[in-house]
């Protein structure tokens, strides 16, 4: 089925439709991962976005039951150069085409993804649509689209829920969490309680947690002011670990500023240097906003990690409180597991804090 990818700057890419045969509009971004498309598509940080994969062949090992990062993916579309005629893998349950149909997500193949990525790198992320006809009406609809400001609200859990175990009590604030964060905490026998994004500091502290995890999520961190106030209310009283959006919210709660990046970091091959040790980790990343290094108060926050390619702030630690954060995904789903040790550092921080309190 002939379909078109149209961009708000007037560019038209003809292709062949797969997945759900529906019209969809959102912000288009590119991901540089060679594999891990299932984890990417089901990552709630892509809420409202059309994902263009730079690797030329996507879908060759199908979709399995184990690698979901959310139950209901909320991305708006998938753009690829080529999908396979036949997918095969011993863990495979269905093809990517069938999965996208099931989840009502449109896909388009046959796209010159190199040209598309070059355009996004030159002009920045922009609005796009997957449509049946690239006519004036389609472009008028695209230009009229207003990107939502309540993206975290759209993907966060509405009610608290537990993931019981016998270890340390960890409160996880869901801004659009990846299941892999829960997996890493479960590996360490943590007794987890997942709470909505707008939970207050008082409600969190009433649960007497050993630690608080601030998860990843979509959109502009400044659109979640209630979370910023919550962080101000709990830091210093309980150890905190922030990831991705949680990192940005932690920075805002301590007086720093954030900005929208031209095309963001989305992939599984981003080199990050730990400032203190010079250690370099290759990391999984997915973010369109970053912390402004010049806005950080060095009396409060210490920059712990820096992205090698563009010097983006990739990690922070509070100088007085047991709190740290990273912009990348140490849960690494998908991606290198270089930074998984940060979950162990979080556990060690909790134990040290508890010993000091006693």
Task: Answer for the pair 320, 272: CB distance below 8 angstroms, yes or no.
Answer: no
Kindly state the percentage of the chain with pLDDT values over 70: 100
Tens of pLDDT, residue by residue over 64-98, are 999 999 999 999 999 999 999 999 999 999 999 99
Query: What are the beta bridge partners of residue 3?
Result: 15
Active-site residue among 75, 210, 244, 305?
Answer: 244
Active-site residue among 247, 265, 305, 329?
Answer: 329
pTM: 0.96
Does the annotation count 190 as an active-site position? no
Packed helices 245-253 and 225-234: angle between N→C axes, nearest 10 degrees? 70
Annotated binding residues for L-glutamine, written as ranges, equal 45, 217, 219, 245, 248, 286, 288-289
Does the structure show a pLDDT above 80 at 149?
yes
**Helix and strand numbers, DSSP H then E, in the chain:** 10, 17
Does the structure show a pLDDT above 80 at 316?
yes
Radius of gyration of the CA atoms of the chain, in A: 20
Average pLDDT (314-332) is 97
Tens of pLDDT, residue by residue over 150-171, are 999 999 999 999 999 999 999 9
Does the structure show a pLDDT above 80 at 261?
yes
Does the annotation count 43 as an active-site position? no
Active-site residue among 174, 210, 281, 331?
Answer: 331
Does the annotation count 329 as an active-site position? yes
* Calpha distance 164→146 (Å, rounded): 40
Annotated binding residues, written as ranges, equal 45, 217, 219, 245, 248, 286, 288-289
Tens of pLDDT, residue by residue over 237-260, are 999 999 999 999 999 999 999 999
Q: Taking the CA of residue 220 as centre, how many other CA atoms within 13 Å lie in the half-sphere pointing to its CB?
A: 12
Q: Taking the CA of residue 116 as centre, how many other CA atoms within 13 Å lie in the half-sphere pointing to its CB?
A: 33
Kindly state the percentage of the chain with pLDDT values over 90: 97
| DSSP, res 21 | -
User: Could you tell me the pLDDT band of residue 31, with boundaries at 50, 70 and 90?
Assistant: very high
Please name the residues in contact with 122: beta carbons below 8 A apart, sequence gap of 6 or more: none
Which of these, 178, 166, 263, 168, lies nearest to 207 by C-alpha position?
168
Does the structure show a pLDDT above 90 at 269?
no
Supply the mean pLDDT for the chain: 97
């Amino acid at each position: 089925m002939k379909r078109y990818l149209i961009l708000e700057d007037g560019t038209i890419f003809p292709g062949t439709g797969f997945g759900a045969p529906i019209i969809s509009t959102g912000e288009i971004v590119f991901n540089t991962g060679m594999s891990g498309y299932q984890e990417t598509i089901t990552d709630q940080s892509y809420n409202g976005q059309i994902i263009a994969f730079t690797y030329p062949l996507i879908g060759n090992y199908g979709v399995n039951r184990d690698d979901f990062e959310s139950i209901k993916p909320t991305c708006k579309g998938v753009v690829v150069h080529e999908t396979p005629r036949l997918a095969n893998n011993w863990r495979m349950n269905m093809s990517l085409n069938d999965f996208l149909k099931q989840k009502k997500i449109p896909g388009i193949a046959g796209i010159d993804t190199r040209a598309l990525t070059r355009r996004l790198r030159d002009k920045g992320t922009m609005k796009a649509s997957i449509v049946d006809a690239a006519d004036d009406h389609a472009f008028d609809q695209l230009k009229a689209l207003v990107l939502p400001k309540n993206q975290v609200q759209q993907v966060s859990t509405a009610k608290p829920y537990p993931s019981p175990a016998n270890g340390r009590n960890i409160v996880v604030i869901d801004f659009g969490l990846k299941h892999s964060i829960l997996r890493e905490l479960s590996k360490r026998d943590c007794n987890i309680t997942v709470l909505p994004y707008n939970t207050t500091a008082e409600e969190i502290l009433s649960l007497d947690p050993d630690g608080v995890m601030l998860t990843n999520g979509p959109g502009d961190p400044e659109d979640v002011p209630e979370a910023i106030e919550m962080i101000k209310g709990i830091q210093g009283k309980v150890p905190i670990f922030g990831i991705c959006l949680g990192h940005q919210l932690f920075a805002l709660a301590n007086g720093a500023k954030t900005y929208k990046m031209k095309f963001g970091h989305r992939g599984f091959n981003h080199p990050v240097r730990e400032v203190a040790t010079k250690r370099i980790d290759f990391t999984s990343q997915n973010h369109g906003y970053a912390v402004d290094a010049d806005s950080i108060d060095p009396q409060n926050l210490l920059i712990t990690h820096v992205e090698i390619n563009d010097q983006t702030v990739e990690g922070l630690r509070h100088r007085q409180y047991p709190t740290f954060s990273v912009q990348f995904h140490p849960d690494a789903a998908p991606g290198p597991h270089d930074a998984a040790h940060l979950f162990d550092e979080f556990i060690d921080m909790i134990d040290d804090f508890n010993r000091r309190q006693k």
